[in-house]
Structure 1
């Protein structure tokens, strides 16, 4: 089968590896001129790790392991702790914070040369019962090269199946599903991945401080790197540097927040707006579908965005293994995944982890054993997981 994947992000590249392993001919079309190195790091939970391993691109050895997740008040008083080692014991896969660039590098390196074509911005699609045609792709470039003529694909790559994996501003979604853009809810994550706070960066504990100013998150990402972020419910003022504003906004938070902010440069800070798609039961038309943020963008407050993209890739590969009409398989994939994803999408959209907890919630968090909290976290992930439930198409 000829499969065209638009977007060389985590979900698209994971799917490409699984489909190539199954003997399909795959072309990944990416609008960026080369492999992307932005995006800081992502937290890979057991469901995402299991999906990647089954797609023939295990994430072993990447990033930094996270064994505990701690929540603190702005003054630094702990009010909750989850033992995430429970996930490894119960699923065989743990939790790690991994630089996005490292994941993309591993996924790309496992593919046959030429599978990913950079500098290919989709300008038009035609979806018919017998296949799909993508136009506007005359120029492409491999990383480090000048744009060259794509003599193999010409101006109109043709495939049996089209998968839009091109993010929350998906060009494919606009054509095959809905032109309505993802909506912003007002929250923004100001994030980065830097060498900072060596004691935290070299450990296995993640820490979140939650208060009226927002949430500050700190996670070890391996190699001395720290993934940090500040979730705030208001936009940064246009007349002040963002870092200066963050230092003032979080000035009352306990250390190491001030130490982290003092050591950062303006160029270290990236904006990640919180956006949300409605999640319909159908994600495409004919032999086309979507995965990841193109299908179901939601805020990062539950750290499941990359994991759900890997889940999509895992089930979509399973769907395309089934004999018969691929269109029927695509619709089954969409029905199963939409039910799973809606659960985590609603929870993430509530921004519940970013809200300062009331006194009863803080008390409950202090009293609950960390192992029980870890099991409750795993139960939440299971409800939105196809791979941990072995969903069949």
Structure 2
């Protein structure tokens, strides 16, 4: 089939790999003029790595492997640890934090040289009968047997198919960056989440001497104030390494990411068009599943197209399966539960259950939202 994918992000490029391998003629229309190099890093859990492998892309050598994830209160006292090496043992796939630009480069490397068409902004999508077409900002209309909107949280394809594209914002903001400021953290495989009344600070090694860090805060920064100065004041009661990190950051290091939430309908498209990733189901990053769920979507859509009798049957079946899965993690992420200090009983439970049981609970959460780990079919 001739297939058009709108958006050269993680989900769009991953899907393109799987569909090209199946013999389809695939073009990716990307509004940016060149491959994206912005953004910080993403954590790819075992389900996302399994989905990428199922699409023909190995992520095993990218980024920084995360073997242990520790949870601490603002005073630096640990209340839970996850042994993420167990996820690799149980699923066959590791957990790693990978710079977004590095991940996109790997996903693009397996595609034909002309597969991604940059500088092509899609204005709308038209559907009728068995196919679909896109109309670009310069008025060009291109037809295909299938159009997939993987164009992000303010998706033009979603607006055309569902009537709305703008998500709601729940007030939380991630102030984040990817820097080589703390080599002692970058060199290991130990990640930290430190949570208190001011919010959560996360630090994860991302490979190549880089550390992915973020501050999740309920509410915007005060207007007219330098963000780093405001974060230093807000998190001044937190123990190291939080204070040490803030001491070495500059205003140029930090970027804002507002937490967005999309409603997730049962049906994401019509005729020969559908959605994927944030275009279908944007949700906050508090469960680190955004990129993973985009990879899951790509894996499931490829599988649906290879087994259904018609394109429309494949798309509607894919949407039913994925809507059911992704609603579970979207609801949990939107609650921002991990960004709030745990109650004393929860801290005690985290200490008593130990890393193995705590990790098993994490795997249960991941499995509930995973198509690839459950072998879903339409």
Q: TM-score, normalised by structure 2?
A: 0.98
Question: Aligned partners of 1:323, 1:312: CA distance in 2, in Å?
Answer: 16
Contact kept? 2:283, 2:334, Cα under 8 Å? yes
Q: Secondary structure at the match of 1:135?
A: strand
Contact kept? 1:41, 1:99, Cα under 8 Å = yes
- Determine if contact 1:34/1:119 at 8 Å carries over to the other structure: yes
Cα displacement (A) at 1:180: 5.0
Which residue in the other structure is 2:116 paired with? 116
In the other structure, the counterpart of 2:196 is: 211
* 2:372 counterpart of 1:390: no
- Greater shift, 173-182 or 90-99, is seen at 173-182
Question: Residue 137 of structure 1: CA displacement?
Answer: 5.5
Counterpart of 1:96? 96
Q: Distance in 2 between matches of 1:78 and 1:125?
A: 51
Q: State the Cα distance separating 1:131 from its structure 2 match.
A: 1.4
Contact 1:137–1:156 (CA<8 Å) still a contact in 2?
no
Matching residue of 1:4: 4
CA shift for structure 1 position 178: 3.0
Which of the residues 141, 151, 154 maps onto 1:156?
141
| Alignment match, 1:141 | none
Cα shift at 1:263: 1.0
1:170 alignment partner, one of 155, 178, 182: 155
Contact map agreement 2:158 2:165 (CA 8 A) in 1: no
Match in the other structure for 2:211: 226
SS in 2 for 1:368: helix
Partner of 1:288: 273
* Equivalent residues of 2:149, 2:155 under 8 A apart: yes
Aligned pairs (5 A) from 1:252-271: 252-271=237-256
Q: Distance in 2 between matches of 1:293 and 1:29?
A: 16
Supply the distance in 1 between the matched residues of 2:311 and 2:231 (Cα, whole angstroms): 50
Contact 2:172/2:217 (CA < 8 Å) preserved in 1? yes
Q: How does 1:305-344 map to 2 (within 5 A)?
A: 305-344=290-329
2:71 matched to 1:86? no
Residue 243 of structure 1: CA displacement?
Answer: 1.1
CA displacement 1:355-380 (0-9 Å, x = unmatched): 10111111111111101111110111
Equivalent residues of 2:130, 2:311 under 8 A apart: no
TM (norm. structure 1) is 0.95
| 1:247 and 2:243 are equivalent in the alignment | no
Instruction: Give the whole-Å Cα distance in 1 for the aligned partners of 2:78 and 2:240.
Output: 13
Q: Which residue of 2 aligns with 1:202?
A: 187
The answer as to whether partners of 2:155 and 2:165 remain within 8 angstroms in 1 is: no
More displaced, 176-185 or 209-218? 176-185
Secondary structure of the equivalent of 1:48?
A: helix
Is the contact between residue 130 and residue 312 of structure 2 (CA under 8 Å) also seen in structure 1?
no
Q: Which residue of 2 aligns with 1:64?
A: 64
3-12 or 236-245: which moved more? 236-245
- Give the drift of 1:323: 4.5
| Cα RMSD (Å) | 1.0
In structure 2, what is the Cα distance between the partners aligned to 1:314 and 1:382? 15
For the residues of structure 2 that align with 1:96 and 1:16, how far apart are their CA atoms?
23
- Would the aligned equivalents of 2:156 and 2:165 in 1 still touch at CA under 8 Å? no
197-206 vs 1-10, which moves further: 197-206
Asked if the contact 1:68–1:82 (Cα under 8 Å) also holds between the matched residues in 2, the reply is: yes
Per-residue CA deviations over 1:197-253 (Å, capped at 9, x if unaligned) read 212111111101100100000000011100000000010111101111111111111
The offset of 1:136, in angstroms, is: 2.1
Query: Are the equivalent residues in 2 in contact too, given 1:205–1:220 (CA < 8 A)?
Result: yes
Name the CA shift for 1:78/1:21 in 2 (closer, same or farther; >3 Å). Answer: same
Q: Would you say the 8 A contact 2:30–2:118 is kept in 1? A: yes
The 8 Å contact of residues 153 and 165 in structure 2, kept in 1 or not, is answered as: no
**1:134-157 Cα deviation digits (max 9, x unpaired):** 12255xxxxxxxxxxxxxxx9222
Unaligned runs of 5+ in 1: 139-153
CA deviation map 1:269-289 (0-9, x unaligned) = 111100101111100011110
Residues in 2 aligned to 1:199 and 1:375: alpha-carbon distance in whole angstroms: 29
Q: Is the contact made by 2:66 and 2:189 (CA closer than 8 Å) also made in structure 1?
A: yes
